[in-house]
C-alpha cells in the first residue's frame, strides 16, 4: 500500500447560495496519478481547486470540511496559501503563459519564493524544469522570446515547466489537454508518465481513454457528489455504481 | 537544513509584510483621491454659504422732511419720483442714527457703512409703497461690503487700523447699531437676481445665470439635432469607405482637442470671419456646441450600437425601408442613451470657461441679458472674474457662484443617471 | 426680425404638411388608384419644399446683407477714392452709431447725412425685401410641389433621400470643425512667421510680447520682434507644471486603479469610483479658484516656514491642483485596463503561490502596461491643454525656470493673457497667440494619436 498524500473529508463547497460539492471524501496516493472524471458541471474543477485553495480567489466561494496534505489541514488559520501553493502546483485548462519571455515564465516562481540565490542557480532551475517538461530542446535557442509566441501544446508544457520550477510535491491538472491536438496530447500524457516518479499528480479529464492510460486511481463525480472512487481498472471494467457504468459506456454526459 | 527552512520562513514573512504595505499604499492613494473631493466641496461650501444672506441696517426715514404731506406721493408717477432730489435727504435720514455726531469726517464714515446705492434704495421703497407712506418709515438698507463681512465674521477686526478697510470709528458705530438691534440679516435675493457690479454688496449672479442658460440653450438647439443625426448616419447608413473613416478619426480627435483651441476657432472664424457679435451667448453657444458634439455623437453611437440587429431585421422583414426601420424602431430605443450623452455634454459645456474668455464673454456686464444676442457673462466666467478681484466680499460671492454652478451640474448629472435607470433596456 | 420670419416659415411648413397630406388623400379617392407612398409622406414632401429653400435663402441673405449695405451706404465715400479700407469700415461703424442717435461728427455733414439717410432707407427696404423674397419663394414652392403630387410621384423616396443627405451633412460638421480649427490657426500663424522667424519662436529664450505692444504696430524694430517671441520659457513652464501634475496623479491614480480592480469589494468600488470621477466633472475654473486662493497661499506659507522663498504663484501649487484634477483620467482608464487582463493570468500567478502584490506588480501591470501608458499619455495631453487652473494660479510672466517654487507660465496662460479683452488685429502679438495655439493643437493631437494607438494595440492583444 502506498502512503496517502492528500485526504479530503466531508467537503462541501458553495458558490453563494448554490452548493457545488456535497460531502466529498477521498484520498490520493503519493507519486501516483489520480484521475477525476464526470459530466460537465459536476464539480471536478471545484474540487481540484480546493486542493490548492484557488477558490479563495472567488469571493462568493465558501468551503466547508477538511483537506489534509501530509496530515496538515490546509484550511487551518495558520496555513499560508502562498506556501501551500508553492507545494501544490497547478496547470490550467487553457495554457496561460505570462506575456513575458519563456525564461521569465519559468523563473517567475523561483524568483518570488526566493529559491534561487544566484543567477546561475536560476538558470539551472529554468533549464531543468524545461527539460522535465520536455520542452527544452524545442526552445533552447529562443529562451528570451515571448512565451505567448509558442504553439498551444508548447505553451501548455511551458505552464507545466512553470509549475514544477518551484519543485512542488503535488501537481494539479485541470483538463490540461482539452485545448490541444492529439499529438500534443500524447506528448503531455507521456510527460505525465515521467513526472509521476517525482510528483503526486491529480488530473481532471473528459477523456476516459486518457484517464485509463495515465492514472492508477480514478474518481467519478456526478452532480456535485463523488459517486465512486477506485483503482482505474476497477472503475473501467467493473464499476459498482450504475451511474458510473452509464457514464463510461457513454450513455450520458 | 534547518537554516534553509528558517531562511524560507523569513522570506515568506518579508513577502507578506510587503503585501500588507502595498495594500496600505493602495488604500492610502484612494483615500487621498476621495479626500480631495471632500476638501474641495467643504472649502467651497464653508466660504460660500454666507453669500446667500446679507446684512441690512434699519434706518428711520422721515419722509415728512421731503414733502409737507406724505399722501401726495400717491399722486406722483414713477417719473416724478425719479426726478425728486433725494440725496441729501437720504443722507440726513442716515445721520439720524447718530444725531450727536458733528464732524464732517465722522458723518462720511457713517455714510460709508451703507452701500453706495442707499439713495436708490430709498427711492425704490418710495416707488413701490407710494400710496401709503407714513410720516416716518423704517427701511432696511443694504450694508456696505466691509460691514457685511465684519458682521459675518469673515473679516479680522483686530488688525491695525491702517491695515483694514473698515476704520475704528466705523466699528464703533457698527457695534452701537448692533447693540440697538438695528443690524440684521436677510436672504440675499438681490444676489440671485442682479447683474455684476463693482461693489461686492451689490453684485449678483442673475446676469451670469441667464447668460449661462442662453448659452446652454444655444448648445442644446445646435448640438442635439446635429449630434444625433450625425450619429445615426455614421452608425446606420455610412458605407465603409475613406470618407467615413476620416469623419470618425475627426470626431475622436476633436474630443481630445484642448478647449482653448475651440476658443481660438471662435475668435478667428466665428467672430472675425463671419462677424457675429462678440461677448454674446450666441457665439459662446456655437463654440461650445462644436466642443460638445463629439461627446454627443460618441454616446449616441454607443447606444445605437447596443440595439440588437434583430430589431432592425424584424422591421426590414415586414417590408419597412431601412430609413423606416431606423427611425421607427432603432432610434426610439436608443434615445435615452442619446439624451444621457447630450446632458453630459451640456454639463461639460456649462462648466467650460477658457473658450469663452477668448470670444469676449468676460465683459463686465451690469444688465441681465434679455436675448442670446446681448453681451453677457456665464457662471464659470463670473467665477473667474470675481476671483481676480481683491475685495473680501467677492471671495464669498465667488464660492457661492461655484456652489450654484456645482448645483446645476449635479442636477444635470442626476437627470442623466435617472434617465439611464428608467429607460435602460436589457436585451 | 429673424425670429418672426423663421416662425412664419415654420408655420407655413406645418400648414403645407396638412395641405400635401390632404391633396394626396383626395387624389387617392378621386382616381381610385393607389399612391406610390403613404399620404403623410406627401405632406412631408410639400413641407420640405416650403421650408428648406426658404431657410437657405434667408441664410444667404443674412450673411451677405451687411456687405451690400455697407457698399451702398458708403458709395459716395468710395467714389471719392481717398479712403483706405480700414478707414471705410471705421466710418461705417460711426455712421451706424449716428443712425442710432449718437452724435459723433461735426464736419462732413452733407455726405454723412446722406449716408445716414441711405442707411435708414436701406435697412427698412432690405427688411421688407427679405420678407417678400423668403415668404414668396416659400409660397411658390408650396404651390409647385402641390401640383407635382400625382400617382406616380414616390414622395417617400424623396423624403428619405433628403433625410439621408441631411444626416450626412450633419456628420460633416466634425470635418468642418477640424478644417476650421486648422485654417484659423494656420492663417494667423503663417502671418506671424512672416514677421518672426519660426526658429526664433521655437528656440528663443525670451518671451515678452508686451514690449511690442508699446510701440506703434507700423515701425516695429525687427530685432525687437526677435527678442520678444521666444517661446522656450512657455514650453518649459508647460512642461514643468505638467510634470508636477503627473507626479501627483500617476502614483495616486495608478494605486487607486489597482485598489479598485484587485482589492476593493464590489460595494466599495460601486461607491468610490463615481465619487472619484466627480473630480473630473468639476469645472476647471473651480480648481483654479481653489489653487489660487487656498493651495497657493498654503504652499507659500509652508515653504516660508521651512525657510524657502516661494512665489505666491508657484508652479507647485498649480501643478499639484492640476494633478488632483487628472487623477480620475488615470484611475478610471487604468482600472478598466487592469480589469481586462485575462483572469487566467491572475490564476496562473496565484497558483504559483504569488501574493497579490507580486501578481499585480510582476504579472498584471506588465501585461496591462500599454494601456496604462496610454492613460498616462492622455493625462499628459490633458495637463498640457488645461487652461483655467494655470491662468488663475500660475504666473503670468515668462521666466525660464526649473524650480517648482518659482512662478512659471504656460502656453495656454499666454494665449489667454494675449487674447483676453480687446486685441488689435494684425499685430504680431495677437498672431503669436495663434502660433501658440497651433503648437498646442499639434502636440496634444500627437499625444492623443499615440495614446490611442497604444491602447488599441493592447486591446487587440486580448480580444
Ligand atoms: N465562479 C463560480 N461562480 C458560481 N458558480 C460556479 C462558479 N464556478 C463553478 N460554478 C458552478 O459550480 C458547479 C461546478 O462547476 P465546476 O467548474 O466545478 O464543474 P466541472 O466539473 O469542472 O465542469 P467542466 O467539466 O465543464 O469543467 C457548476 O454548476 C457551476 O455552475
Ligand atoms: Mg472544469
pLDDT at C104 over 70: no
| SS3 of residue B22 by DSSP | helix
**Residues above pLDDT 90, as percent of chain B:** 43
Share of chain B above pLDDT 70, in %: 98
Q: How much distance in Å is there from the Cα of A176 to the middle of ligand 1?
A: 17
Name chain C's partners: 3 or more CB pairs within 8 A: A, B
Segment B247-255 shows an average pLDDT of 90
Predicted pLDDT of residue C461:
63
How much is the pLDDT for A117?
76
Does residue A7 carry a pLDDT above 90? yes
pLDDT at res. C215:
47
Tell me the average pLDDT of chain B.
89
pLDDT in tens, A40-72: 999 999 999 999 999 888 889 999 999 999 999
Place of cell 512667421: C193
Please indicate whether residue B117 or residue C254 has the higher confidence score (pLDDT).
C254
Query: Mean pLDDT over residues C159-171, rounded?
Result: 93
Per-residue confidence (pLDDT) for residue B89, from 0 to 100: 86
Residue B261: per-residue pLDDT: 96
User: So what's the pLDDT on residue C460?
Assistant: 65
Q: How far apart are the first and last CA of chain B?
A: 62
* Interchain contact C367–A (C-beta under 8 A): yes
pLDDT at B56 over 50: yes
Range from A233-237, B208-212, C67-71 carrying the lowest mean pLDDT? C67-71
Bridge partners, residue A9, by sequence? A66
Please choose from A36, A46, A57 the residue to mutate so as to test ligand 1's pocket, defined by most ligand atoms within 8 A of CB.
Answer: A46
Task: Give the three-state DSSP class for B291.
Answer: helix
Where do the domains of chain A lie, and which CATH numbers do they carry? 4-248 (3.40.50.300)
pLDDT surpassing 50 at residue A80: yes
Provide the pLDDT confidence category of residue C108 given band limits of 50, 70 and 90.
low
Burial label, B46 (beta-carbon count in 10 A; 0-12, 13-18, 19+): exposed
Residue A32, burial from CB neighbour count under 10 angstroms (0-12, 13-18, 19+):
middle
Enumerate the domain spans of chain C. Answer: 2-153, 231-462
Report the pLDDT value the prediction gives residue C425, as an integer from 0 to 100.
66
* Residue B70: DSSP 8-state: G
Q: What is the pLDDT of residue B1?
A: 47
Report which protein residue has its CA nearest ligand 1's atom 22: A45
Q: Is the pLDDT of residue A215 over 80?
A: yes
Which of B15, B16, B17 is the best substitution to test chain A (most A C-beta atoms within 10 A)?
B15
> Distance from CA of residue A100 to its chain's centroid?
23
Instruction: Say whether A99 and C362 touch across the interface (CB within 8 A).
Output: no
Binding pocket residue ranges, ligand 1, CB within 6 Å: A 15, 18, 20, 38, 40-46, 58
Which of B306-310, B389-393, C24-28 is least confident?
A: B389-393
Residues with CB under 5 A from ligand 2 (ion): A 45
pTM value > 0.90: no
Tell me if residue B180 falls in helix, strand or coil: coil
Q: What is the pLDDT of residues B130-164, one digit of tens each?
A: 888 888 888 999 998 888 888 888 888 888 888 78
Q: Atom 25 (ligand 1): residue with closest C-alpha?
A: A40
Cell of C404: 517648482
Which of A99, A100, A108 is closest, CB to CB, to C352? A108
Instruction: Quickly tell me which residue has 521666466 as its cell.
Output: C399
Residue whose grid cell is 496517502:
A4
Q: What is the mean pLDDT of chain C?
A: 87
CA distance B279 to B211: 10
Convert the pLDDT of each residue in C283-332 to its tens digit.
999 999 999 999 999 999 999 998 888 888 889 999 999 999 999 999 99
Q: What value does the mean pLDDT take over residues A167-195?
A: 89
User: What does the pLDDT read at residue C219?
Assistant: 54
The arithmetic mean of pLDDT across residues B115-121, rounded, is 88
Does residue C217 have a pLDDT over 60? no
Answer yes or no: is pLDDT of A253 > 70: no
Give the pLDDT score at C454.
84
pLDDT confidence bin for C457, thresholds 50/70/90: confident
pLDDT of residue C399 exceeding 90: no
Coil, helix or strand at residue C425: coil
Of residues C99 and A234, more confidently modeled: A234
Q: Which residues of B touch A (CB under 8 A)?
A: 7-8, 11-12, 15-16
Buried b (16+ CB within 10 A) or exposed e, B63-95: beebeeebeebeebeeeeeeeeebeebbbebbe
Q: B12 and A112: CB-CB below 8 Å?
A: no
Among candidate residues C291, C305, C286, C319, the one with its CA nearest the CA of residue C406: C319
Q: What DSSP state is assigned to residue C107?
A: S
- The pLDDT of residue C161: 93
User: In sequence order, what are the residues at sequence separation of 6 or more whose Cβ sits closer than 8 angstroms to the Cβ of residue C460?
Assistant: none
* Cβ within 8 Å of residue C59, ≥6 positions away: none
Assembly ipTM: 0.91
Which CATH architecture does the domain made up of C231-462 adopt? Answer: Orthogonal Bundle (1.10)
Residue nearest to atom 4 of ligand 1 (CA): A15
> Average pLDDT, stretch A105-115?
90
Q: H helices within A2-141, ranges in order?
A: 44-50, 81-87, 102-113, 119-132, 136-139
Q: Minimum-distance ligand to the CA of A43?
A: 1
Residue C158 has pLDDT above 70, yes or no: yes
Amino acid at each position: 500500500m502506498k502512503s496517502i498524500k492528500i485526504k479530503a473529508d466531508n467537503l462541501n463547497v458553495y458558490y453563494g447560495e448554490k452548493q457545488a460539492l456535497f460531502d466529498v471524501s477521498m484520498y490520493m496516493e503519493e507519486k501516483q496519478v489520480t484521475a477525476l472524471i464526470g459530466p460537465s458541471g459536476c464539480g471536478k474543477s471545484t474540487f481540484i481547486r480546493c486542493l490548492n485553495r484557488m477558490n479563495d480567489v472567488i469571493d462568493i466561494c465558501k468551503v466547508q470540511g477538511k483537506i489534509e496534505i501530509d496530515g496538515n489541514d490546509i484550511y487551518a488559520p495558520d496555513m499560508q496559501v502562498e506556501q501551500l501553493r508553492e507545494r501544490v502546483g497547478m496547470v490550467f485548462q487553457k495554457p496561460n503563459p505570462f506575456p513575458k519571455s519563456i525564461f521569465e515564465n519559468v523563473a517567475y516562481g523561483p524568483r518570488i519564493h526566493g529559491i534561487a540565490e544566484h543567477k546561475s542557480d536560476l538558470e539551472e532551475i529554468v533549464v531543468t524544469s524545461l527539460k522535465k517538461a520536455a520542452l527544452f530542446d524545442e526552445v533552447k535557442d529562443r529562451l528570451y522570446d515571448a512565451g505567448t509566441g509558442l504553439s498551444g501544446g508548447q505553451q501548455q508544457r511551458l505552464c507545466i515547466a512553470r509549475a514544477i520550477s518551484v519543485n512542488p510535491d503535488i501537481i494539479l491538472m485541470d483538463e490540461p489537454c482539452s485545448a490541444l491536438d492529439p499529438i500534443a496530447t500524447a506528448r503531455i500524457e507521456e510527460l505525465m508518465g515521467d513526472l509521476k516518479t517525482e510528483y503526486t499528480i491529480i488530473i481532471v479529464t473528459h477523456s476516459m481513454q486518457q484517464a485509463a492510460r495515465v492514472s492508477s486511481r480514478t474518481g467519478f463525480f456526478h452532480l456535485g457528489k463523488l459517486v465512486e472512487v477506485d483503482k482505474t481498472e476497477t472503475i473501467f471494467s467493473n464499476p459498482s455504481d450504475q451511474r458510473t457504468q452509464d457514464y463510461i459506456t457513454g450513455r450520458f454526459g | 537544513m534547518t537554516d534553509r527552512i528558517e531562511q524560507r520562513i523569513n522570506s515568506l514573512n518579508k513577502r507578506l509584510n510587503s503585501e500588507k504595505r502595498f495594500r496600505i499604499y493602495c488604500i492610502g492613494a484612494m483615500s487621498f483621491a476621495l479626500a480631495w473631493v471632500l476638501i474641495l466641496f467643504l472649502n467651497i461650501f464653508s466660504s460660500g454659504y454666507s453669500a446667500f444672506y446679507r446684512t441690512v441696517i434699519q434706518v428711520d426715514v422721515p419722509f415728512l422732511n421731503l414733502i409737507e404731506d406724505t399722501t401726495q406721493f400717491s399722486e406722483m408717477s414713477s417719473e416724478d419720483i425719479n426726478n425728486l432730489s433725494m440725496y441729501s435727504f437720504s443722507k440726513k435720514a442716515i445721520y439720524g442714527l447718530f444725531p450727536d455726531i458733528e464732524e464732517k469726517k465722522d458723518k462720511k464714515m457713517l455714510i460709508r457703512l451703507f452701500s453706495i446705492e442707499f439713495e436708490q434704495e430709498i427711492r425704490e421703497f418710495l416707488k413701490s409703497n407710494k400710496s401709503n407712506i407714513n410720516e416716518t418709515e423704517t427701511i432696511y438698507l443694504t450694508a456696505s461690503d466691509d460691514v457685511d463681512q465684519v458682521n459675518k465674521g469673515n473679516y479680522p477686526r483686530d488688525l491695525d487700523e491702517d491695515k483694514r478697510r473698515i476704520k475704528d470709528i466705523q466699528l464703533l458705530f457698527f457695534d452701537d447699531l448692533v447693540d440697538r438691534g438695528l443690524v440684521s440679516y436677510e436672504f440675499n435675493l438681490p444676489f440671485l437676481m442682479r447683474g455684476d457690479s463693482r461693489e461686492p454688496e451689490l453684485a449678483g449672479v442673475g446676469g451670469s445665470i441667464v447668460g449661462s442658460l442662453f448659452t446652454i440653450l444655444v448648445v442644446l438647439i445646435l448640438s442635439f439635432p446635429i449630434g444625433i443625426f450625425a450619429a445615426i448616419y455614421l452608425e446606420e447608413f455610412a458605407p465603409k469607405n475613406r470618407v467615413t473613416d476620416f469623419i470618425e478619426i475627426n470626431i475622436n480627435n476633436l474630443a481630445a482637442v484642448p478647449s482653448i483651441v475651440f476658443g481660438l476657432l471662435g475668435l478667428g472664424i466665428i467672430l472675425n470671419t463671419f462677424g457675429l457679435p462678440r461677448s454674446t451667448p450666441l457665439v459662446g453657444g456655437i463654440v461650445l456646441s462644436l466642443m460638445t458634439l463629439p461627446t454627443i455623437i460618441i454616446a449616441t453611437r454607443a447606444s445605437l450600437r447596443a440595439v440588437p440587429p434583430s430589431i432592425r431585421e424584424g422591421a426590414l422583414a415586414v417590408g419597412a425601408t431601412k430609413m423606416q426601420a431606423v427611425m421607427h424602431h432603432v432610434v426610439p430605443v436608443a434615445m435615452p442613451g442619446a439624451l444621457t450623452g447630450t446632458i453630459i455634454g451640456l454639463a461639460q459645456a456649462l462648466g467650460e470657461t477658457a473658450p469663452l474668455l477668448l470670444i469676449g464673454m468676460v465683459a463686465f456686464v451690469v444688465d441681465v441679458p434679455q436675448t442670446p444676442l446681448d453681451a453677457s457673462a456665464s457662471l464659470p466666467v463670473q467665477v473667474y472674474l470675481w476671483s481676480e478681484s481683491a475685495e473680501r466680499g467677492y471671495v464669498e460671492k465667488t464660492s457661492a457662484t461655484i456652489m450654484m454652478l456645482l448645483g446645476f451640474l449635479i442636477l444635470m448629472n442626476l437627470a442623466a443617471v435617472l434617465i439611464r435607470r428608467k429607460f435602460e433596456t436589457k436585451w | 426680425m429673424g425670429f418672426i420670419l423663421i416662425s412664419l416659415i415654420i408655420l407655413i411648413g406645418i400648414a403645407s404638411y396638412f395641405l400635401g397630406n390632404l391633396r394626396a388623400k383626395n387624389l387617392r379617392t378621386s382616381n381610385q388608384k393607389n399612391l406610390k407612398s403613404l399620404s403623410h409622406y406627401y405632406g412631408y414632401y410639400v413641407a420640405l419644399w416650403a421650408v428648406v429653400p426658404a431657410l437657405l435663402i434667408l441664410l444667404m441673405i443674412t450673411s451677405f446683407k451687411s456687405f451690400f449695405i455697407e457698399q451702398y451706404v458708403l458709395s459716395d465715400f468710395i467714389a471719392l477714392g481717398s479712403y483706405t479700407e480700414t478707414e471705410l469700415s471705421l466710418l461705417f461703424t460711426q455712421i451706424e452709431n449716428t443712425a442710432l442717435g449718437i452724435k459723433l461728427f461735426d464736419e462732413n455733414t452733407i455726405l454723412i447725412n446722406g449716408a445716414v439717410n441711405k442707411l435708414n432707407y436701406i435697412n427698412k427696404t432690405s427688411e421688407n425685401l427679405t420678407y417678400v423674397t423668403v415668404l414668396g419663394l416659400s409660397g411658390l414652392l408650396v404651390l409647385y410641389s402641390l401640383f407635382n403630387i400625382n400617382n406616380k410621384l414616390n414622395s417617400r423616396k424623396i423624403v428619405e433621400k433628403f433625410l439621408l443627405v441631411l444626416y450626412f451633412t450633419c456628420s460633416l460638421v466634425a470635418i468642418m470643425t477640424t478644417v476650421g480649427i486648422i485654417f484659423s490657426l494656420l492663417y494667423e500663424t503663417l502671418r506671424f512667421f512672416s514677421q518672426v522667424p519660426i526658429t526664433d519662436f521655437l528656440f528663443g529664450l525670451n518671451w515678452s510680447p508686451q514690449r511690442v505692444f508699446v510701440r506703434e504696430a507700423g515701425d516695429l524694430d525687427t530685432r525687437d520682434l526677435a527678442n520678444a517671441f521666444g517661446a522656450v520659457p512657455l514650453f518649459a513652464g508647460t512642461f514643468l507644471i505638467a510634470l508636477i501634475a503627473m507626479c501627483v496623479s500617476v502614483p495616486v491614480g495608478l494605486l487607486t486603479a489597482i485598489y479598485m480592480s484587485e482589492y476593493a469589494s464590489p460595494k466599495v468600488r460601486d461607491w468610490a469610483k463615481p465619487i472619484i470621477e466627480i473630480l473630473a466633472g468639476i469645472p476647471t475654473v473651480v480648481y483654479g479658484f481653489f489653487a489660487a486662493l487656498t493651495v497657493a497661499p498654503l504652499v507659500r506659507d509652508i515653504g516660508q516656514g521651512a525657510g524657502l522663498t516661494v512665489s505666491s504663484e508657484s508652479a507647485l501649487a498649480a501643478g499639484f491642483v492640476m494633478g488632483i484634477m487628472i487623477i480620475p483620467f488615470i484611475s478610471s482608464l487604468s482600472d478598466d485596463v487592469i480589469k481586462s487582463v485575462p483572469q487566467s493570468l491572475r490564476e496562473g500567478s496565484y497558483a504559483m503561490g504569488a501574493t497579490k502584490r507580486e501578481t499585480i506588480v510582476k504579472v498584471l501591470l506588465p501585461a496591462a502596461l500599454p494601456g496604462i501608458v496610454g492613460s498616462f499619455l492622455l493625462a499628459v495631453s490633458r495637463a498640457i491643454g488645461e487652461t483655467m487652473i494655470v491662468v488663475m494660479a500660475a504666473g503670468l510672466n515668462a521666466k525660464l525656470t526649473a524650480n517648482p517654487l518659482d512662478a512659471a507660465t504656460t502656453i495656454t496662460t499666454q494665449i489667454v493673457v494675449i487674447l483676453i479683452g480687446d486685441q488689435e488685429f494684425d499685430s504680431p502679438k495677437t498672431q503669436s497667440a495663434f502660433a501658440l495655439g497651433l503648437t498646442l493643437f499639434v502636440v496634444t493631437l500627437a499625444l492623443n494619436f499615440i495614446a490611442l494607438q497604444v491602447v488599441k494595440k493592447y486591446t487587440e492583444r486580448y480580444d
